[in-house]
Chain A
């Protein structure tokens, strides 16, 4: 099971507000669970740790070697996303970018003020959930960082 597949599942889960997705293919079976509703109210940092566990074979069994730990960066304010410092410039981060704590991931404009969204964890960007110019609500997922 490729990491990209796992990330796509997380994305689907978020997009449709699902609690759990389970899928099976020739390479094995995987189940992704969303714990955001319980986590987000307690976690003031707005980041979220999602446990993603790969499962091989028809019978459930934990395969620890397949584990990745993903940190989901969420929008701390309603507004419009700016992926790059200015139009035409390279985005702050892309899938594959390595980030350290404090790196700017994107800007969210609210009331004509640019709010910097910084990385709270060190790791590798494995997914970008938003496009430049897209509007986001409070708590919407922005990026997934592989922190394992």
Chain B
């Protein structure tokens, strides 16, 4: 096993990876930016290296600085976490070139999957169902109009290299197409350094369901079931759960089998997630592959009992998967609520210093909390607003929800606004309790709230 791993991230995910390394007996190196000096992840690691100022471009996205930090600390591998450089093909290549194992896919896989249009076309060829759109040429206005006529409205303008909901525009009719195209183009250039866009059919009533898998160097692929992530706002996931109440065992098996063979065919290595949308008639369509650890990975860990981060590290070392598919027996139900430092009504970021924090976990069974926040932690505009992930597990969905409710009720966070009241509101909605959840759920809940207050 590796003797020393550098964690190229911050916050809760850096702490999560540090924990996995500690359990594997691996020494750890944290990196931190100036305002993160003294942060939990930097203190928790065996060594910590300051790599730059607050701006992510000069610190957590600074490839030469991170490689240099790995050099001076003699780390053997680099775990990128999620966000930042986790899907960066150049970073993966630089790690290998400088003699460090990258805990994630090869740069070739990242390049293929990082081009969402190409990924859709590739997956369609491999037999996965896709929404109409990616196959059309859209370089000229005439081509776009012709493509839009074939696809039908509403449709989405998407960035080929996008992520996190940026560069996305929903278009209702032909008159809005060119404006949405130019807006997305500007956003995509600013956010991802590429103005390449594509069109895709947009499903109004859809669930977001994704499938977690692990693949080792020798081509063994293990699927760990699905996560339902339909509770989103502005394409940001807020609540995730596993399993999904919407998918039949037959669909689960068919899709898992196809995903496994697609992952094998592209020579994928590491942990990954295939994202799908599912329409009102329970038809599934491939959206994209997230070639990294995901924020919501804990719900899968809770039901399968598998430590995904430890498996990632073992795979990067070259070990074969330590599980067989028949060993995977999902048990019960798990839910995650992302507690963000945001106004619970408007979702506007709430920055400030946490003056008091009391997270749940000690009151009874079935609760896990992933967080790096402490009294004195400052929520700044530089980094994401995630304060804590509260994850519960129960024998069934209703027990997991009941545990989530009491866990949220015992949480106390002062100094910043948090989304805890929002989560409690969702947990009280009859549609949520009935599993009747679609990606417009939060939008509709907010509209209803506005109608009631009028």
Given contacts A41-B53, A41-B54, A138-B52, contact A77 B72 (CB under 8 A): no
Inter-chain contacts of B72 with A (CB < 8 A): 78-80, 135
List the B residue with the shortest CB-CB distance to A79. B68
A108 to B73, CA, bound (A): 15
Q: How many residues of A contact B (CB 8 A)?
A: 15
A110 touches B64 (CB 8 A): yes
A111 touches B53 (CB 8 A): no
Interfacial residues of chain A within 6-64, with CB under 8 A of chain B in the complex: 40-41
Of the residues B34, B64, B73, contact of A139 by C-beta under 8 Å: B34
Q: Range of interface residues on chain B?
A: 20 to 34
A111 to B67, CA, bound (A): 6
Given contacts A40-B34, A113-B64, contact A78 B50 (CB under 8 A): yes
Measured CB to CB, the closest approach of chain B to A99, in angstroms, equals 25
| Total number of residue pairs linking A and B with CB closer than 8 Å | 52
Given contacts A80-B71, A111-B71, contact A137 B34 (CB under 8 A): no
A77 touches B68 (CB 8 A): yes
B49 touches A78 (CB 8 A): yes
Inter-chain contacts of B69 with A (CB < 8 A): 78, 137
A79 to B71, CA, bound (A): 8
Inter-chain contacts of A138 with B (CB < 8 A): 34, 50-53, 59, 65
A135 to B64, CA, bound (A): 15
Measured CB to CB, the closest approach of chain B to A115, in angstroms, equals 9
Of the residues A40, A109, A110, A140, contact of B65 by C-beta under 8 Å: A110
Inter-chain contacts of B73 with A (CB < 8 A): 135
The 23 sampled A-B contact pairs (Cβ below 8 Å) are: A41-B53, A41-B54, A77-B52, A77-B65, A77-B68, A78-B50, A78-B52, A78-B72, A79-B68, A79-B71, A79-B72, A80-B71, A109-B68, A110-B64, A110-B65, A111-B68, A111-B98, A113-B64, A135-B72, A137-B50, A138-B53, A139-B34, A140-B50
Does any Cβ of A come within 8 Å of B360's Cβ?
no
Given contacts A40-B34, A41-B34, A41-B54, contact A137 B67 (CB under 8 A): no
A78 touches B53 (CB 8 A): no
Does any Cβ of A come within 8 Å of B35's Cβ?
yes
B49 touches A77 (CB 8 A): no
Measured CB to CB, the closest approach of chain B to A5, in angstroms, equals 28
B49 touches A137 (CB 8 A): yes
Given contacts A78-B68, A80-B71, contact A139 B98 (CB under 8 A): no
List the A residue with the shortest CB-CB distance to B38. A17
Chain B proximity mask over A91-111: 1 for CB below 8 Å, otherwise 0:
000000000000000000111
Measured CB to CB, the closest approach of chain A to B102, in angstroms, equals 15
A41 to B380, CA, bound (A): 14
Inter-chain contacts of A137 with B (CB < 8 A): 49-51, 69
A139 touches B65 (CB 8 A): no
Chain A proximity mask over B14-36: 1 for CB below 8 Å, otherwise 0:
00000000000000000000110
